[in-house]
Amino acid sequence: MSATVLFGLCGALLVGLGVYGLIVQPQPLRKILAFNLLGSGVFLLFGVIARRGAAAGFGGDPVPQALVITGVVVAFAATALAVALLLRLFEVSGTVTLRADDGEGRDA
Amino acid sequence: MLTTTPGGTWLVLALVVPVAGVLLAMILRGRHAERIALVLMPAGLAIAVAIAAGVMATGGPLSYVLGGWAPPLGVALRADALAAAMMLTTALVIGAVGVFARANFATPASASGARASFTFWTLLLAVWGALNAVFLAGDLFTLYVALELLTFAAVPLVCLDGRAETLRAALRYLLFALLGSALYLSGAVILYGMYGTLDIVLLSSLIRAEPATWAAGALMTAGLLAKTALFPLHLWLPPAHAGAPPAASAVLSALVVKGSFFLTVRLWFDVMPGVPGDAGAQLIAVLGAAAILYGSVVALRQARLKLLIAYSTVAQIGYLFLMFPLAFDQGTGQLESGAALSGGLMQAISHATAKAAMFMAAGLMYAGLGHDRIADLRGIARALPVTVIAFGLGGISLIGLPPSGGFLAKWLLLSAAVTTGQWWWAVVMLVGGLLTSGYIFLVLARAMGATDAPLALAGPVARSREWITLALALVSALLGLVALTDLDFLQIGRPVAGLR
Amino acid sequence: MSTPSLLLTAALAFPLVLLLACVSRRVRARMPSLLVLAPLPALAAALLAVDAPPLAIGRGALRLTFILDYPGAILLGVAAFLWSMAGLYAATYMRGTPNHGRFTVCWLMTLTGCLGIFIAADMAGFYLLLALLSVGATGLVIHEQTPRAWRSGAMYLGLALAGESCVLMGFVLLAAASPGDGLLIREAVAALPASPWRDLTLALLIIGLGLKAGLVPLHIWMPLAHAAAPMPASAVLSGAVVKVGILGLGRFLPLATGLPEWGIALTAAGLFTALYGVAVGVTQRHPKAVLAYSSVSQMGLIVAVLGMGLTSGDVSAALSAAYYAAHHVLVKGALFLAVGIVAATGARRLWPLLVAVAVLALSLGGLPLTGGALAKYAVKGPLGEGLAGTLANVSAAGTTLLMLHFVHRLRRSAAQDAGATPPAGLLWPWVAIALACVIVPWGLYLWVPRGLVDNAFAPAALWSALVPVLAGAALALALQRWGRGLPRIPEGDIAVVIDGAVRSSIALAPSFVRADAVLRRWPVAGLAMLGITLAIGAAFMR
């Protein structure tokens, strides 16, 4: 099992954990963390592809690396927005549940 | 397609102008945000018209290669007739929403009011810029970034009033959209791994039908469907669109969901036309048909007007996905651009204008009555006749009565259903029209009910807001007349030269 | 632009301009007095612009074309006259009632749609005007805003939209089978017999247009709507608007090519409707309901004429049907308006009025020397001498019975105050239409050099017209004597089936809402997302 395959499996594992957390965990903060796991898994996959696409002389294909950097920034912005909304929700309502209290659309 | 064409500069301007507006607004702060937005709207409309004229004149797409670096290393912006039509619609709707929102968000009475006003205008420009980026971007990763920008700009629009339930709705929207975009990104990863490029034109010539492509396509499509709120992934839409202020709901329902829909069209028609096959197209249309049936029935049972309109959006989004199997050509095994695609796009445009007008009308009715309970709408037709007429005209476009754009779309799609022999989709469309007429006339009947004394309005309703709502509804109701002109609107769906 | 084309344009444009002018509140307030003028350009066009070159608007594929051929001209002329006189009647009738602004807007919408369809020559224009007509007519039906009016209006609109969906699908099929890009009706219908979807197209068109014309069992909206609308609106709805379905059938059926199976089916449906309308009509109490069922019956007969024309490939059936329909337009309009006048007349002035009404009513059954007899004679040709002809005679007897029943119920509905007189503004339009009922059929018979009616004065013809009338009169006497035991059938007879269907489907809706609550739970939606990913992937693999 070469390094790339190992990292690829690791990335897939992270993606799986992230999706599981995002779907199953009821609390928003855990969902945000799960999203970050998911994002990390996808970026790891990108890295694996960069490594596999390495041409002679380069350590890795530069294009996926550029994409990963952009992706990290996007994920960071997403997390920041989500956390800001969460904090504001806590400030306004005192709880952080996503469950609606007036019976409209019960969701976790 | 891989070089800059004359007229390509307009594409850059279409992105730069809204973004510059956002930055300027953040620097100047306060009331300047509104002024900047109102100045830039006509400019943006002019740019969209210029792009459309350029596409029609050359008969092919405009393209611009950033920095002169050609793909696969560089990034290209491309505008074909599809993109030009969507950009025009966006500019029109955002302009109308801007005029409409001046009363709501113009005079900040308190500190929080000022902050909401500033946020609204800045986000409006941001949504516009992101939508232009979605329509123009020429490779899948730029599309991902543009899509994320769109989501980030749209989410805070939901919770502008700061209440707990809208914050919850916004958070739910954001998290579900993030799940969708993560799936999309993983699909893009796989595609890059297989083919070494993400540029749409290059990818379309390289793509083969194999397991990795299937997986990538499925992941990307599912992610985009989550962002478009296709049944059964619509959980975030009703509370988000109903909880936002009316101007924001108009933009969210009319334009933001069209962004991810447009991406689905790009993916299926331009990147991998031979991959979905008949089964894939039928599956996605089955979800669409379920959305139409389910959304319409649930809309009929709603007690609040804004929720009814939100569920109507859920139903109308289903219509957009009916065009995929109708564009499938059994002979070549590919999705062909043609009458079905034109019909689907016409449906998207007419729904955008009609739904924006309806949300604006609902906002005016709320302002006039102080509530939006459907059962207590009696007397509003006498008090705000222009508003109710605008709502009715928007409804006519949704039902698909001539001469609206909805009718033209329905005609094109029905013709495609007949020529490809797929009767069941024709039946779905006709039944959907009947169900739509059910809830539209339900609202109109309640609104036209008579009260003993003339209704006293709970708050003043500016005439200019009523008239801009009516103007937008008229655009939607008369859009079908474009078929009477020389404009070859079917060109919208023609395959772009050199794309295959 | 030549005069005929100008007249054609004005026929459609003038009501449309009036409609748009209603945006201004002041114009809306004055509009009821202008309603009499709105159809006059159309009347002029019908008289002067027959067989003018087609008028085309727009340049794209969906160009709107308008044409005036003989059947269309006959119907346009009488319909325009009825609309005009009914408009004059309405100006007096609606004075002082609330919401007359809304009434005039709906009136003008219905008027534009109705007159426009008579001259529409392409499918897009036909459908557009049909939709305008339906929406306007719904507004007229629900005008009084009583629960009964709302129910009738909802039934009308729902069925009209369902019918229009069928018509739209039929049009799409027609357009797909017709050569070239255009949507001209003539070309499309000429290509219809050779179309691969011929049967489906015919079925959809007959269902959609038959619904508008009131074929059983699609007639259920007619008694409800025509009885619930205000008096002048009922007159034009029953008089002119139902003819839209007839004209549509005349235009869209490939009469030049004989299609025996379809023709026989259509004739059977028409004759069944003719007899059914009479059977249910005699059980009705309210004069307007009786008239509405009479309209159902008469429309059935006209459809049977078209059906016989389709069977034998007889193109002149369209002209005969138009002639018969034209007579019905005027008579039915006059009878409806008479209901309003009688309701305002006391016992002292009633008898002259009642005699005139009786003559008009009996002319529907074919009283000799009236326009009705001419009309019956005109359709004798297409109907032939076989079963269809016999049943048509039976239906004539039935119509006489129904009309005598109507006159009897009408007498009961006179005003309580014995000395009451109807306002002049109601009476004079009625007199004009009543005169037209006599003049127009005879005028057409004498002027139109088409050999519509060979010899209406022959004794054999007079005798054959008299027999059904006498038979009907005998049945009416029997009804008087033994009619108490007839069952009470509610207006709209089998509409109760629809009520039940609507109720049961409304009961389904809460389960959708409950399902919504489940589907919108986050774990369910998340799993659905994963499920869809897998499903799409599997679909791609095929």
State yes or no: pLDDT of B499 exceeds 50: no
Residue A102 pLDDT class (50, 70, 90 cuts): very low
Report the relative pairing of strands C64-66 and C55-57 from DSSP bridges: antiparallel
Give the tens place of pLDDT for each residue, B240-295. Answer: 999 999 999 999 999 999 999 999 999 998 898 888 888 899 999 999 999 999 99
The whole-number pLDDT of residue B370 equals 85
State yes or no: pLDDT of A99 exceeds 90: no
3-state helix, strand, coil in chain C (%, to 5): 75, 0, 20
Residue B330 pLDDT class (50, 70, 90 cuts): confident
Residue B500 pLDDT class (50, 70, 90 cuts): very low
The whole-number pLDDT of residue A55 equals 64
The whole-number pLDDT of residue C208 equals 93
The whole-number pLDDT of residue C464 equals 73
**CB-based contact, B455 to chain A, within 8 Å:** no
The whole-number pLDDT of residue A105 equals 42
pTM score over 0.80: yes
Write the DSSP string, C7-40.
HHHHHHHHHHHHHHHTTSHHHHHHHHHHTTTTTH
Residue A103 pLDDT class (50, 70, 90 cuts): very low
Is A22 within 8 Å of C526 when comparing Cβ atoms?
A: yes
**Which run of H or of E encompasses B45?**
helix B32-58
Dist. CA B422–CA B428, nearest whole Å: 11
State yes or no: pLDDT of B220 exceeds 90: yes
The whole-number pLDDT of residue B354 equals 96
Max distance between CA atoms of chain B, in angstroms, equals: 71
The whole-number pLDDT of residue B112 equals 66
Residues of chain C with C-beta less than 8 angstroms from the C-beta of A35: none
State yes or no: pLDDT of B391 exceeds 70: yes
Three-class DSSP category at B468: helix
The ipTM is 0.92
Please check whether residue B461 is in contact with residue B427, taking contact to mean a CB–CB distance below 8 angstroms: no
State yes or no: pLDDT of B473 exceeds 90: yes
Please check whether residue B318 is in contact with residue B228, taking contact to mean a CB–CB distance below 8 angstroms: no
Instruction: Indicate the average pLDDT of chain C.
Output: 85
Comparing A60 with B439, which gets the higher pLDDT?
B439
Q: How far is C512 from chain A (nearest CA, A)?
A: 13
User: A3-24 and C522-541 helices cross at what angle (nearest 10)?
Assistant: 140
The whole-number pLDDT of residue C420 equals 73
**B312-335 average pLDDT score:** 89
Please check whether residue C379 is in contact with residue C321, taking contact to mean a CB–CB distance below 8 angstroms: yes
The whole-number pLDDT of residue C56 equals 81
Is A28 within 8 Å of B175 when comparing Cβ atoms?
A: yes
Strands (E), B300-451: 328-329, 334-335
Three-class DSSP category at A7: helix
State yes or no: pLDDT of A40 exceeds 50: yes
State yes or no: pLDDT of B484 exceeds 80: no
Please check whether residue C298 is in contact with residue C274, taking contact to mean a CB–CB distance below 8 angstroms: yes
Please check whether residue B259 is in contact with residue B130, taking contact to mean a CB–CB distance below 8 angstroms: yes
Mutate to test the interface with B, among A89, A96, A102 (most CBs of B within 10 A): A89
Instruction: Tell which phi-psi region holds residue C488, choosing left (phi > 0), alpha (psi between -120 and 50) or beta.
Output: beta
Mutate to test the interface with C, among B210, B221, B422 (most CBs of C within 10 A): B221
Q: Any idea of the CA torsion for B193, B195, B201, B205, to the nearest 10 degrees?
A: -150
Give the tens place of pLDDT for each residue, B91-132. Answer: 999 999 999 998 766 655 666 677 888 899 999 999 999 999
The whole-number pLDDT of residue A106 equals 40
Dist. CA B179–CA B186, nearest whole Å: 11
DSSP state of C237: I
**CB-based contact, B427 to chain A, within 8 Å:** no
Residues of chain B with C-beta less than 8 angstroms from the C-beta of C197: 418
Q: Give the chain A residue whose CA is nearest to the CA of C530.
A: A19
Q: Residue A60 corresponds to which amino acid?
A: G
The whole-number pLDDT of residue C450 equals 54
**B307-328 average pLDDT score:** 93
Q: Give the chain A residue whose CA is nearest to the CA of B167.
A: A89
Sites in chain C below the pLDDT cut of 50: none
**CB-based contact, C527 to chain B, within 8 Å:** no
**Which of B412-421, B430-439, C239-248, C361-370 has the lowest average pLDDT?**
C361-370
Dist. CA B489–CA B59, nearest whole Å: 12
Find all residues with CB under 8 Å of C479, minimum gap 6, and list them.
C282, C401, C404, C405
The whole-number pLDDT of residue B24 equals 93
Q: What is the percentage of chain B residues whose pLDDT exceeds 70?
A: 95
Q: Which long-range contacts (CB under 8 A, 24 or more apart) does B459-463 make?
A: B459/B367, B459/B368, B459/B370, B461/B364, B461/B367, B461/B368, B461/B384, B461/B387, B462/B103, B463/B386
Interface A-B, measured as beta-carbon pairs within 8 A, has a size of 96
Write the DSSP string, B53-70.
HHHHHHSS-EEEEGGGPP
Please check whether residue B310 is in contact with residue B238, taking contact to mean a CB–CB distance below 8 angstroms: yes
Residues of chain B with C-beta less than 8 angstroms from the C-beta of C518: none
